[in-house]
C-alpha cells in the first residue's frame, strides 16, 4: 500500500475584514509537499497587476532557505517535510487595481491559509487470508478460536514492532467435488508495522523511518 497526499480545496480571503477557511493538507514525512498556491481560482482567471507574495510559516517568520521552493508566481513547496514542520502556512497576496478612466490606483490584499500536517504510512502491509476447518459454523468455539488466533499472531510478530489490524472472519459451508459438505472459517487480517513502540524505533534513526518499517513488515513473510 503506497502513501499519498490528501488535499481539500478551500480558500480564505480578506479585504477590510479578515475571513479565513484553512486548506487542510497532509504530507507524508520525508517527501515534498504539493505546491501551495497563493491565489484563488477566480483571481487566477484575471489580470493581476504588480503581485507580491508574502509567506509566513508555523513559527510566525517569513519563509526562506533551502528547505522551501518559492516560485516567482507565489507557489510554495516545502522540501523533505518533517513532523516539526507541521502547522499553519499563510500567504498574503497584495496587488493593484487601476481605473484608467479616473486614473485611480488602489492596492488590494488577499490571504490564504493552509494547515499542513505530516503523517506516516507504511509503504507495505501484508494482507493475509487463511481458511480453517470447523465442525459447525454455529459453534461458539469459532469466535473463541478467532480471538486466540489474534493473540498468537500479535505475540509472534511483536518483537518486530508490528501488529495485526482489521481482523475478521466468516464461516461458510463448502461443497467439495466428489465429497460432502465442509464448514470452514475464512479469516483475513493485515500486518501493520506501526504497533506500539514504533515511535521509539524511529527516534533512534536520522533517515526515513519507512525504510525500517518496510524491512520489519517484510520479515513477517519469513514466519
147 vs 160, higher pLDDT: 147
Same domain, 81 and 136: no
pLDDT value for 139: 93
Same domain, 112 and 148: no
- Given pLDDT bands bounded at 50, 70 and 90, which one contains residue 100? confident
* Phi then psi dihedrals of residue 207, to 5 deg: -105, -175
End position of a domain, from candidates 119, 148, 173: 119
Instruction: Examine residue 1 and state whether it is found in any structural domain, yes or no.
Output: no
Instruction: Examine residue 52 and state whether it is found in any structural domain, yes or no.
Output: yes
Instruction: Examine residue 88 and state whether it is found in any structural domain, yes or no.
Output: yes
End position of a domain, from candidates 119, 152, 186: 119
Same domain, 133 and 214: yes
Same domain, 165 and 87: no
Same domain, 100 and 132: no
Same domain, 114 and 87: yes
Same domain, 39 and 106: yes
Q: What is the count of structural domains for the chain?
A: 2
Q: Please give the mean pLDDT across all residues of the chain.
A: 81
Cell numbers standing for residue 173:
459451508
Answer yes or no: is pLDDT of 110 > 90. Answer: yes
Same domain, 99 and 151: no
Same domain, 133 and 208: yes
- Using CA atoms, how far residue 115 sits from 21, 22, 112, 163, in Å, is 10, 6, 10, 31
Instruction: Examine residue 189 and state whether it is found in any structural domain, yes or no.
Output: yes
Instruction: Examine residue 216 and state whether it is found in any structural domain, yes or no.
Output: yes
Pair 138, 183: CB distance under 8 Å: no
Answer yes or no: is pLDDT of 189 > 60. Answer: yes
pLDDT value for 132: 95
Pair 132, 187: CB distance under 8 Å: yes
Instruction: Examine residue 61 and state whether it is found in any structural domain, yes or no.
Output: yes
- Using CA atoms, how far residue 149 sits from 8, 22, 193, 222, in Å, is 40, 45, 19, 18
* Phi then psi dihedrals of residue 146, to 5 deg: -65, -45
Same domain, 33 and 110: yes
* Euclidean distance between CA atoms 146 and 156, whole angstroms: 15
Same domain, 114 and 159: no
Q: Please tell me the number of Cα atoms within 13 Å of 62 on its side-chain side.
A: 5
| DSSP assignment of 67-117 | TEEE-TTS-EEESS--GGG-EEEEEEEEEEEEETTTTEEEEEEEEEEEEEE
- Given pLDDT bands bounded at 50, 70 and 90, which one contains residue 74? very high
Instruction: Examine residue 155 and state whether it is found in any structural domain, yes or no.
Output: yes
- Using CA atoms, how far residue 101 sits from 47, 50, 98, 105, in Å, is 17, 19, 9, 11
**DSSP β-ladder status, 126-134 and 181-192:** antiparallel
pLDDT value for 4: 34
- Look up cell 487480517; give the residue: 189
Pair 26, 5: CB distance under 8 Å: yes
For 18-55, the pLDDT digits (tens) are: 445 678 999 988 889 999 999 988 888 999 999 999 99
Same domain, 146 and 191: yes
The CATH number of the domain where 71 resides is what? 2.60.40.10
Instruction: Examine residue 45 and state whether it is found in any structural domain, yes or no.
Output: yes
End position of a domain, from candidates 64, 96, 119: 119
Q: What's the whole-model pTM score?
A: 0.58
pLDDT value for 9: 32
What domain range is 15 assigned to? 6-119
Amino acid at each position: 500500500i503506497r502513501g499519498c497526499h490528501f488535499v481539500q480545496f478551500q480558500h480564505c480571503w480578506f479585504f477590510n475584514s479578515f475571513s479565513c477557511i484553512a486548506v487542510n493538507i497532509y504530507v507524508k514525512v520525508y517527501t515534498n509537499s504539493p505546491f501551495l498556491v497563493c491565489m484563488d481560482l477566480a483571481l487566477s482567471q484575471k489580470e493581476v497587476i504588480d503581485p507580491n507574495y508574502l509567506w509566513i510559516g508555523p513559527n510566525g517568520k517569513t519563509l526562506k532557505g533551502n528547505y522551501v521552493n518559492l516560485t516567482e508566481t507565489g507557489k510554495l513547496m516545502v522540501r523533505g517535510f518533517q513532523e516539526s514542520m507541521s502547522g499553519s502556512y499563510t500567504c498574503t497576496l497584495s496587488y493593484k487595481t487601476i481605473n484608467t478612466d479616473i486614473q485611480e490606483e488602489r492596492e488590494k490584499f488577499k490571504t490564504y491559509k493552509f494547515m499542513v500536517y505530516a503523517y506516516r504510512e507504511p509503504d507495505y502491509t501484508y494482507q493475509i487470508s487463511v481458511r480453517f476447518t470447523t465442525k459447525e459454523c454455529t459453534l461458539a468455539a469459532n469466535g473463541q478460536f478467532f480471538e486466540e488466533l489474534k493473540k498468537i499472531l500479535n505475540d509472534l510478530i511483536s518483537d518486530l514492532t508490528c501488529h495485526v489490524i482489521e481482523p475478521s472472519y466468516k464461516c461458510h459451508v463448502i461443497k467439495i467435488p466428489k465429497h460432502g459438505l465442509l464448514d470452514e472459517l475464512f479469516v483475513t487480517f493485515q500486518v501493520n508495522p506501526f504497533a506500539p513502540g514504533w515511535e521509539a524505533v524511529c527516534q533512534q534513526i536520522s533517515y526515513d523511518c519507512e525504510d525500517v518499517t518496510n524491512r520489519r513488515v517484510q520479515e513477517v513473510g519469513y514466519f
